[in-house]
Structure 1
Amino acid sequence: MSSGSKKSPSNGFEKAPTSEEEQTKIKEVRRLIGQLPDKLSIYCSDACIARYLRARNWHVKKATKMLKASLKWRLEYKPEEIRWEDIVNEAETGKIYRSTSIDKHGRTVLVMRPSRQNTKSIKGQIKYLVYCMENAILNLAPDQEQMVWLIDFEGFNLSHISVKVTRETAHVLQECYPERLGLAILYNPPKFFEPFWMVVKPFLEPKTANKVKFVYSDDLNSKKIMEDIFDMEHLEFAFGGNDSMGFDINKYAERMREDDKKIPAFWTREHPASTALQPSLPCALDSINLNSVSVSDASDDEKTDCSPSLQVESEAVSPGENMVATNGSKHAI
């Protein structure tokens, strides 16, 4: 299903809304959200609201409920306050990092290597994932809203699969970063991963599942996929490119510290309504009514709270699992 289509009881699909209809729905979400503090309103640009609407197939009340839950999560979790020094221990092995290169569409590329998991703290791992997502958004080109996940399965085995933690991480990604994923490339996944993928695929929105591509280094068709998406001169050698630099924690730390300095200015842009989604700055939680929208026709198992439960501290999470949902709901990433 395309990102602009939605199911209809009569013929299976309905036409995507026109630009005028989109603006009408965006305005309606604004009306339902109500007045926001100035700093929080930076998060609710037209582009941001449109993403939440697309994630809910342009259903205004469902999108509003989802956006309010995301606002509440940001107020409580404060992702924009996470800095490199807070998560450096999670980053040491390069299990997730932002590539120095972008794809041919100008999209930020996050490299994920599940086999390099180095901690057992679920809270710490999710905090690092959130930091990486925020940093990827910070570095998006002005005309881009989505990113690419390049997931390297070298050294990956069954011990790296945790369905319970997948549910936690996928929930945050789907509920708090809707429509941020442009493409997920699974590079050299082991044979046992394909049956696992077939099990979890039905839990994803079809348009999200279609963003996942299996690529094998010894397959010519796969090589063509990579050449179509990336400039091979700047792509890492590990993925068939010509860049031999690889991940260096010291150099990466320098990049991240420099990026951290950009964050305050990122929240004080003069015209936030015309920009892509930006994380909100903190404000008093009771200054916004986050529970005033009811959605009577939403499914009973549809989650709208972004907050992960995070009670378990002993189970490892794999960055490569983050594209998978297992809670029974179908949401778009």
Structure 2
Amino acid sequence: MSYLLKAKSWVSQEKAAGSLDEQHDKINEVRELLGSLTAEMPSFLSESTIRRFLRAKSWSTEQATKALKETIKWRRQCRPDTICWEDIHEREHEARRAYIADYLDKNGRTVFISKPAIKSKLSSKDQIKHLVYNLEILAMLSENEQDECVAWLTDFQGWVLTCTPFSMVRESMHIIQNHYPGLMAVAILSNPPKIFESFWKIVRHFLEPEMNQKVKFLYTNNPESHKTVADMFDLDNLETTFGGRNKVAFDMDKYNERMKRNDQMRGASKHANA
């Protein structure tokens, strides 16, 4: 999509959102439409969550309410709020495949990094569980944000078709778009191999048009891509695999402690999950 079309899309979103007072009125209207459900899940149905769903649905209170009701049904069954770091099997390995960085981009957005070329040791069900856990943390970190606040970087170095089953992609995209809308600001696909082109032609059909617009293909040996990355990130923080200068190895001990602190902030624990 051209810059002009993106600008028009942004302007239409701004018009739909209205003033802060109008946004607040829409949030209250959704609360009324949800009725007793707000008492069932008060922590989840916060002002921040309702705003995210409204933003994802172009500030339509009816569509946002419908989407929230579907997500409430899903949360009753999956209980994502009770998943904690200690529930993730093979977490020391899986964290290297997908983790929340300890720095922000230049726009103050949380950075989420995935490396699908690293073979998972988990079943499909447990891989989805790990994804949902990360999305819960990202949602918590976005609690006070007015706009999409996650920059998702995917490293495709060494990727082959067998690394990412279509069924897994389809389920992951469904969960992200339907149950955690309004989080992703940009999704950067770094150095995808030639074979990824055919894969992408299928995968893009799983994405909603607005999500498709957020996807950027970047190549570290391309000067234009390097400029894009430098505009978005402090290169001293960004990992070398994405064109940054950070060569520091992933510190599993620090990451363990950070995730445990996040669990405490969320109120998730082994006791709550029992």
- The answer, yes or no, to whether TM exceeds 0.5 is yes
**CA RMSD, aligned part only?**
2.6
The alpha-carbon deviation at position 21 of structure 1 amounts to: 4.5
- Distance in 2, matches of 1:138 and 1:59, equals 23
Aligned residue pairs, count: 260
Q: Deviation per CA, 1:202-255: give whole Å up to 9, x if none.
A: 443322111111110100000001101101111122222222113233332232
CA shift in 2, pair 1:132/1:203, >3 Å: closer
In structure 2, give the amino acid aligned to 1:138. Answer: M
Of 137, 156, 159 in structure 1, the residue corresponding to residue 162 of structure 2 is 159
Deviation at 1:15, TM superposition (A): 5.0
The question of 1:125 aligning with 2:132 is answered no
Distance apart, 1:118 and its partner CA:
1.8
Query: Structure 2 length normalisation: TM-score?
Result: 0.84
The residue type equivalent to 1:115 in the other structure is: A
Structure with bigger helix share is 2
What residue ranges of structure 2 are gaps of 5+ in the alignment? 1-5
Deviation at 1:66, TM superposition (A): 0.8
Task: Tell whether the 8 Å contact from 2:220 to 2:243 is kept in structure 1 after alignment.
Answer: yes
Tell me which residue corresponds to 1:95. 97
Task: Tell me which amino acid in the other structure corresponds to 1:41.
Answer: P
Other-structure match for 1:168: 171
Structure 1 length-normalised TM? 0.70
1:105 corresponds to which of 78, 102, 107: 107
Structure 2 CA distance for partners of 1:220 and 1:177, relative to 1, 3 Å: same
In structure 1, the partner of 2:78 is 77
Residue 187 to residue 88, structure 1, CA distance change in 2 (3 Å): same
Structure 1 residue 36 displacement after superposition: 4.1
Report if aligned partners of 2:97, 2:114 keep a CA contact under 8 Å in 1. Answer: yes
Among all aligned residue pairs of Structure 1 and Structure 2, give the percentage whose two residues are the same amino acid: 41
- What corresponds to 1:286 in structure 2? none
Aligned to 1:179: 182
SS of residue in 2 equivalent to 1:104:
coil
Structure showing greater relative contact order (alpha-carbon pairs closer than 8 Å, 6 or more residues apart): 1
**2:252 equivalent to 1:245:** no
Q: What is the SS of the residue equivalent to 1:16?
A: helix
* Cα distance in 2, alignment partners of residues 97 and 105 from structure 1: 19
Alignment of 1:310-329 (within 5 A): none
Residue equivalent to 2:219: 216
Cα 1:175/1:87, change in 2 over 3 Å: same
Indicate the residue corresponding to 1:225 in structure 2. 228
Letter in 2 for 1:82: I
Q: 1:251 to 1:260 in 2, by over 3 A?
A: same
Tell me: CA distance 1:207–1:156, structure 2 relative to 1, closer, same or farther (3 Å).
same
Q: Distance in 1 between matches of 2:84 and 2:206?
A: 33
In structure 2, the CA distance between the partners of 1:37 and 1:26, relative to structure 1 (3 Å rule), is: closer
SS of 2:107's partner is: coil
Report if the CA contact (8 A) 2:116-2:164 is conserved.
Answer: no
Residues 182 and 27 of structure 1: CA distance in aligned 2, closer, same or farther (over 3 Å): same
